[in-house]
A = this chain, B = another copy of it.
């Protein structure tokens, strides 16, 4: 893996959890910026339709205002999905703009799931800020999540076209998988052992399905047939698995300054993420020792007051058992499968190059 498509401006050279190499992400920055610029006004207009106080709560969630209602220049996230939805339209030979309602609908569903998942999981922080349920209470988190989900369907269905109906159906399928994934995630937290296969299935549902939808929805709105959309979804699904594998690495070894999460974040939440389940499945002394420790942790009443050193010791065992390296390899595997999937469909070469660059970006990001 080396520098890919960047030609303009200065190189960004992030440390690379999956590859450990230097990648030029210049073009990706522009792609993400375009996705954000074209979708943000439509997203804001959609959220403005919400009745008070839901509009305010949603604006807080998106980072447009702070907890006191003052305008904020919030971190709206990486905006990978809007960028994919616009490229998706171009992959079908339509203008990027044809993908905008899809980009906005996918962002609305993504943020609906964040609002509800943060509440279900008891997560108090997201993107360096208190989560909605912490600031506005659980009822508003539920209600505004519901409203964003409904709004996603509204944005598509009000287009009134056959294509919009097909796009809404794909979004609904993806949302159902998203919900299945969250159900699995919750149930796994109460189980002592989760297999690598179960973990991958859960991550495919939680992350793969909506990324897959983002990469197909623009094409569907742009008039693509189902076969083209399915191929694009295959790319997006594996991209999502690569994305999540990197997320799982960052969830344990990420820099809190970059991720906006606590150190050892996923370990503190007892998440059975890929590095953990891979380490437990690996066998050998470190794997066995990790299994004993996590089993004891599950019963420990002191868990919430564990020191940095205690989490660091668990992270070291995961690494020693091979969970870190396996997960980095998995990210590379999924990245490769994603890019190969693109061969199944004709599309303008610049679009193919940009989808490839985005896939590269996903595995090298630091947050």
Contacts and interface: CB of A to CB of B under 8 A. Distances in A.
Contact of A139 (B149, B154, B164, B186): B186
Contact of A179 (B53, B147, B162): B147
Contact of A176 (B154, B166, B172, B182): B154
Interface string A43-82: 0000000011110000000000000000000000000000
A12 interface: no
Nearest to A180: B51
A113 B179 CA distance: 16
Contacts of A184: 51
A246 B94 CA distance: 53
Nearest to A113: B146
A335 to B, nearest CB: 28
A157 interface: yes
A154 B173 contact: yes
A168 B183 contact: no
A354 B115 CA distance: 43
A286 B96 CA distance: 65
A54 B183 contact: yes
A146 B153 CA distance: 14
Given A142-B116, A180-B51, A183-B143, A150 B175 contact: yes
A301 to B, nearest CB: 21
Interface in A143-163: 143, 145-147, 149-151, 153-154, 157-158, 160, 162
Interface in A238-283: none
A161 B162 CA distance: 8
B157 A165 contact: yes
Interface residues of A, number: 40
Nearest to A146: B179
A221 to B, nearest CB: 13
Contacts of A143: 116, 120, 179, 182-183, 186
A269 B119 CA distance: 24
A296 to B, nearest CB: 25
Nearest to A163: B165
Contacts of A149: 146, 149-150
Contacts of A127: none
B120 A139 contact: yes
A147 B168 contact: no
B183 A51 contact: yes
Contact of A187 (B53, B168, B173): B53
A289 interface: no
A169 interface: yes
Interface in A104-154: 112, 116, 119-120, 138-139, 142-143, 145-147, 149-151, 153-154
Contacts of A172: 150, 153-154, 157
Q: Which 4 A-B pairs have the closest CB atoms?
A: A165-B165, A157-B169, A120-B139, A153-B172
Given A150-B176, A162-B165, A165-B168, 15 more contacts: A51-B180, A53-B187, A54-B180, A116-B146, A120-B142, A138-B138, A143-B183, A147-B176, A147-B179, A149-B150, A150-B175, A153-B153, A157-B165, A157-B172, A160-B165
27 contacts: A51-B183, A53-B183, A53-B187, A54-B180, A112-B146, A116-B142, A119-B138, A119-B142, A120-B142, A138-B138, A142-B142, A143-B182, A145-B146, A146-B179, A147-B176, A147-B183, A149-B150, A150-B176, A151-B176, A153-B172, A154-B173, A154-B176, A157-B165, A160-B165, A160-B166, A162-B165, A164-B165
